[in-house]
Amino acid sequence: MITTPRMVGRTLYQTMSEWITPPTFEAADAELDRLLNESYTKAKTILQRNRAALDALIEMLLEKNTVRGDEVRQVVERLGDANDLAIRNAQRSEFL
């Protein structure tokens, strides 16, 4: 099987096998690009909404060099976006 390295999205590499047809690869490449862009936008939006918690964590790290998980949780619960926290708590309860 001969493989060719291909660029997928902006920085992710994937190996394309010769048995994958170009239309199939192009469809998969387009879908992966869509998913990456969607995930990037979602992550950026969450970080923007939770900027106060992010800034507080940065300050803690600059002061202490190490932050424990319980400290992170306290900051996020105190300063994080209420809707994001509700979503997180609902998702956590599904897995418990």
Q: Residue 50: is its pLDDT beyond 60?
A: yes
CB 12 within 8 A of CB 40: no
pLDDT in tens, 9-24: 443 445 556 667 778 8
**Domain residue extents for the chain:** 3-46, 50-95
Is the pTM higher than 0.85? The answer reads no
pLDDT in tens, 59-71: 999 999 999 999 9
Q: Per DSSP, which regions of 1-96 are E strands?
A: 3-8, 12-17
